[in-house]
Structure 1
Amino acid sequence: MLQNLRDKTTGWVATVIIGLMIIPFAFFGLDQYMVQRSDTTVANIKAPPTWWSSAPSFWPVSVLWRHEEVTVDEFRNRFEQVRQQRRAEQADAFDNEAFQSRETKLEVLDTLIDQQVQAMAAEQAGIVVSDAMVRNAIQQVPAFQLEGRFDPQRYQLALASQNQTPAQFEQIIRDSLQQSLVAAAVAGSNFVTTSELDRLIRLMGERRDATVLLVPPPEQAEPVSVTDEQVQAWYEAHAADYRAPETVTLEYFELTADSLPAPPVDEQALRERYEEQRSQMGEQEERLASHILVEVADDADEAAWDAAREEAAQLAERARTASTDFSALAAEHSDDPGSRNSGGDLGWVGRGMMPGEFEEALFGMEQGEVSEPVRTDFGWHVVQLREVRTGGEMASFEELRDTLALEQAEADREESFSEVAGQVVDAVLSDPNTLQTAAEVAGAEIRRLGPFSRESAQGLAAQPDILREAFSSTRIEDRTASDPIEVAPRHHVWIRVVEHTPESARPLEQVREEVVAAVRADLARKAAAERVEALVKRLEAGETLEALAEAETLPAPQAIPGIPRGAPLVAEGVSEAIFATRIDGEGGPGIGHEVLEDGRAVVFTVDKVVPGDTAEVPPEQREVLYQQLAQIGGAEDLQAMTARLRKQVEVEVVEENL
Structure 2
Amino acid sequence: MLQNLRDKTSGWIATVVLGLLIIPFAFVGVNEYMTGGNDTAVAKVQAPPTWWASAPSWWPLSLLWQDETIGPEEFRAEFERARQQQRQALGDNFDPREFESADNKRRVLEQLIDQKVMLLAARRAGVTVGDAAVQKSIAEEPAFQVDGKFDPARYTTLLASQVPAMSPLQFQEKERERLRMAVLPLGIGESDFATGKEMDRLIRLLGEIRDVTLAAMPPPEADTAEVGEAEIKAWYEAHPADYRQPETVALEYVDVDGAQLQAGAAVDEAALRKRYEQEKARFMSPEQRLVSHILVALPAGADAAAQKAAEDKARSLAAQARQPGAGSVEERFAALAKANSDDTGSKDAGGDLGWIERNGAMVKPFEDAVFASQAGTVSDPVKSEFGWHVILVREVKPSQGKGFEEVRADLAREAVDAERDRAYNELAGKLTDETLKNPTALAPAAAAVGLAVQTAGPFSRAGAPGILANPAVLRAAFSEQLIEDGTVSDPIEISPSHSVVIRVTGHTPEQARPLAQVRDAVIAAVRADRQSKAAEKAADALLARLRKGESLKDVAVAEKLQFNEVPGLPRGMPVPSREANEEIFAAQRPADGKPSVGKLKLGNGYAVFAVTKVTDGDLAKVTPEQREQLKQQLLQVRSAGSAQSFVEATRRQYKVTVHEDRL
Do these two structures clear the TM 0.5 threshold for a shared fold by scoring above it? yes
Instruction: Kindly indicate whether the alpha-carbon contact (under 8 Å) linking 1:213 and 1:555 is maintained by their aligned counterparts in 2.
Output: yes
> Who is 2:471 aligned against?
464
Using the size of structure 2 for normalisation, the TM-score is 0.87
> Who is 2:391 aligned against?
383
User: For residues 227 and 197 of structure 1, do their structure 2 counterparts lie closer, same or farther at Cα, with a shift above 3 Å needed?
Assistant: same
Instruction: Kindly indicate whether the alpha-carbon contact (under 8 Å) linking 2:40 and 2:71 is maintained by their aligned counterparts in 1.
Output: yes
CA distance in structure 2 between the aligned counterparts of 1:157 and 1:481, rounded to whole angstroms: 40
Which one of the candidate residues 605, 621, 629 is aligned to 2:634? 629
CA distance in structure 1 between the aligned counterparts of 2:350 and 2:282, rounded to whole angstroms: 32
Kindly report which structure 2 residues correspond to 1:55-454, keeping only aligned pairs within 5 A, or say none: 55-141=55-141, 148-150=148-150, 167-219=169-221, 223-264=224-265, 265-275=267-277, 278-299=280-301, 308-309=310-311, 311-323=313-325, 325-352=332-359, 353-390=361-398, 392=400, 394=402, 396-425=403-432, 427-428=434-435, 431-436=438-443, 439=446, 443-454=450-461
CA distance in structure 1 between the aligned counterparts of 2:126 and 2:624, rounded to whole angstroms: 40
Instruction: Kindly indicate whether the alpha-carbon contact (under 8 Å) linking 1:549 and 1:555 is maintained by their aligned counterparts in 2.
Output: yes
CA distance in structure 2 between the aligned counterparts of 1:504 and 1:454, rounded to whole angstroms: 15
Instruction: Kindly indicate whether the alpha-carbon contact (under 8 Å) linking 1:55 and 1:61 is maintained by their aligned counterparts in 2.
Output: no
Instruction: Kindly indicate whether the alpha-carbon contact (under 8 Å) linking 2:232 and 2:526 is maintained by their aligned counterparts in 1.
Output: yes
Instruction: Kindly indicate whether the alpha-carbon contact (under 8 Å) linking 2:252 and 2:453 is maintained by their aligned counterparts in 1.
Output: yes
Kindly report which structure 2 residues correspond to 1:506-545, keeping only aligned pairs within 5 A, or say none: 506-545=513-552
> Who is 2:643 aligned against?
638
Question: What percentage of residue pairs aligned between the two structures are identical?
Answer: 48
Instruction: Kindly indicate whether the alpha-carbon contact (under 8 Å) linking 2:250 and 2:504 is maintained by their aligned counterparts in 1.
Output: yes
One-letter code aligned to 1:565: R
One-letter code aligned to 1:133: A
Instruction: Kindly indicate whether the alpha-carbon contact (under 8 Å) linking 1:262 and 1:413 is maintained by their aligned counterparts in 2.
Output: yes
CA distance in structure 1 between the aligned counterparts of 2:108 and 2:656, rounded to whole angstroms: 15
CA distance in structure 2 between the aligned counterparts of 1:122 and 1:516, rounded to whole angstroms: 62
Matched, 1:656 2:657: no
User: For residues 422 and 201 of structure 1, do their structure 2 counterparts lie closer, same or farther at Cα, with a shift above 3 Å needed?
Assistant: farther
Give CA deviations for 1:245-270 in whole Å, capped at 9, x if unaligned. Answer: 11111222222221222143032332
SS at match of 2:50: coil
User: For residues 366 and 61 of structure 1, do their structure 2 counterparts lie closer, same or farther at Cα, with a shift above 3 Å needed?
Assistant: same
> Who is 2:596 aligned against?
590
SS at match of 1:51: helix
> Who is 1:565 aligned against?
571
Instruction: Kindly indicate whether the alpha-carbon contact (under 8 Å) linking 1:373 and 1:382 is maintained by their aligned counterparts in 2.
Output: yes
The farther-off stretch of 101-110 and 465-474 is 465-474
The farther-off stretch of 573-582 and 448-457 is 573-582
CA distance in structure 2 between the aligned counterparts of 1:218 and 1:334, rounded to whole angstroms: 81
Report how far residue 461 of structure 1 moved. 2.9
One-letter code aligned to 1:559: E
Give CA deviations for 1:233-252 in whole Å, capped at 9, x if unaligned. Answer: 11111122111111111222
User: For residues 257 and 333 of structure 1, do their structure 2 counterparts lie closer, same or farther at Cα, with a shift above 3 Å needed?
Assistant: same
The farther-off stretch of 155-164 and 332-341 is 155-164
Give CA deviations for 1:421-441 in whole Å, capped at 9, x if unaligned. Answer: 455455555654343465457
Instruction: Kindly indicate whether the alpha-carbon contact (under 8 Å) linking 1:207 and 1:610 is maintained by their aligned counterparts in 2.
Output: yes
Report how far residue 515 of structure 1 moved. 1.1
User: For residues 653 and 486 of structure 1, do their structure 2 counterparts lie closer, same or farther at Cα, with a shift above 3 Å needed?
Assistant: same
CA distance in structure 2 between the aligned counterparts of 1:620 and 1:429, rounded to whole angstroms: 70
One-letter code aligned to 2:98: A
The farther-off stretch of 630-639 and 518-527 is 518-527
CA distance in structure 2 between the aligned counterparts of 1:527 and 1:159, rounded to whole angstroms: 65
One-letter code aligned to 1:111: Q
> Who is 1:3 aligned against?
none
Give CA deviations for 1:153-187 in whole Å, capped at 9, x if unaligned. Answer: 77678878998666544323222211222232223
Give CA deviations for 1:1-41 in whole Å, capped at 9, x if unaligned. Answer: xxxxx999988587367347448749989747854565653
One-letter code aligned to 1:632: V
CA distance in structure 2 between the aligned counterparts of 1:40 and 1:383, rounded to whole angstroms: 63
SS at match of 2:592: coil
Instruction: Kindly indicate whether the alpha-carbon contact (under 8 Å) linking 2:118 and 2:184 is maintained by their aligned counterparts in 1.
Output: yes
CA distance in structure 1 between the aligned counterparts of 2:650 and 2:615, rounded to whole angstroms: 44
> Who is 2:580 aligned against?
574
CA distance in structure 2 between the aligned counterparts of 1:34 and 1:58, rounded to whole angstroms: 19
Give CA deviations for 1:174-209 in whole Å, capped at 9, x if unaligned. Answer: 222112222322233323334333433333333322
CA distance in structure 2 between the aligned counterparts of 1:218 and 1:626, rounded to whole angstroms: 47
CA distance in structure 1 between the aligned counterparts of 2:541 and 2:27, rounded to whole angstroms: 68
**Structure 1 unaligned spans of 5+:** 1-5
Report how far residue 507 of structure 1 moved. 1.3
CA distance in structure 2 between the aligned counterparts of 1:643 and 1:29, rounded to whole angstroms: 34
Give CA deviations for 1:251-291 in whole Å, capped at 9, x if unaligned. Answer: 22222221222143032332244346653354422111112
One-letter code aligned to 1:225: E
Report how far residue 130 of structure 1 moved. 1.7
SS at match of 1:560: strand
Instruction: Kindly indicate whether the alpha-carbon contact (under 8 Å) linking 1:308 and 1:380 is maintained by their aligned counterparts in 2.
Output: yes
Report how far residue 415 of structure 1 moved. 4.5
Give CA deviations for 1:552-587 in whole Å, capped at 9, x if unaligned. Answer: 4x3342222333334445667433322222133212
Instruction: Kindly indicate whether the alpha-carbon contact (under 8 Å) linking 2:46 and 2:654 is maintained by their aligned counterparts in 1.
Output: yes
One-letter code aligned to 1:197: M
Instruction: Kindly indicate whether the alpha-carbon contact (under 8 Å) linking 1:245 and 1:502 is maintained by their aligned counterparts in 2.
Output: yes
CA distance in structure 2 between the aligned counterparts of 1:143 and 1:636, rounded to whole angstroms: 27
SS at match of 1:225: coil
User: For residues 545 and 637 of structure 1, do their structure 2 counterparts lie closer, same or farther at Cα, with a shift above 3 Å needed?
Assistant: same
CA distance in structure 2 between the aligned counterparts of 1:29 and 1:543, rounded to whole angstroms: 83
The farther-off stretch of 336-345 and 164-173 is 164-173
Kindly report which structure 2 residues correspond to 1:461-500, keeping only aligned pairs within 5 A, or say none: 461-500=468-507
User: For residues 402 and 138 of structure 1, do their structure 2 counterparts lie closer, same or farther at Cα, with a shift above 3 Å needed?
Assistant: closer
CA-based RMSD: 3.5
Instruction: Kindly indicate whether the alpha-carbon contact (under 8 Å) linking 1:31 and 1:62 is maintained by their aligned counterparts in 2.
Output: no
The farther-off stretch of 463-472 and 344-353 is 463-472
CA distance in structure 2 between the aligned counterparts of 1:226 and 1:26, rounded to whole angstroms: 75
CA distance in structure 2 between the aligned counterparts of 1:392 and 1:573, rounded to whole angstroms: 64
Instruction: Kindly indicate whether the alpha-carbon contact (under 8 Å) linking 1:251 and 1:495 is maintained by their aligned counterparts in 2.
Output: yes
Kindly report which structure 2 residues correspond to 1:546-565, keeping only aligned pairs within 5 A, or say none: 546-552=553-559, 554-565=560-571
User: For residues 103 and 32 of structure 1, do their structure 2 counterparts lie closer, same or farther at Cα, with a shift above 3 Å needed?
Assistant: farther
One-letter code aligned to 2:133: M
Instruction: Kindly indicate whether the alpha-carbon contact (under 8 Å) linking 1:29 and 1:59 is maintained by their aligned counterparts in 2.
Output: no
One-letter code aligned to 1:510: Q
Report how far residue 310 of structure 1 moved. 5.1
The farther-off stretch of 568-577 and 87-96 is 568-577
CA distance in structure 2 between the aligned counterparts of 1:358 and 1:344, rounded to whole angstroms: 14
Report how far residue 358 of structure 1 moved. 2.2
Give CA deviations for 1:367-425 in whole Å, capped at 9, x if unaligned. Answer: 1122233333333322211111245453x433543343123322433444445445545
Give CA deviations for 1:52-102 in whole Å, capped at 9, x if unaligned. Answer: 322222232211101211122322222222223333333343333222111
User: For residues 104 and 144 of structure 1, do their structure 2 counterparts lie closer, same or farther at Cα, with a shift above 3 Å needed?
Assistant: closer
Instruction: Kindly indicate whether the alpha-carbon contact (under 8 Å) linking 2:220 and 2:532 is maintained by their aligned counterparts in 1.
Output: no
CA distance in structure 2 between the aligned counterparts of 1:40 and 1:68, rounded to whole angstroms: 13
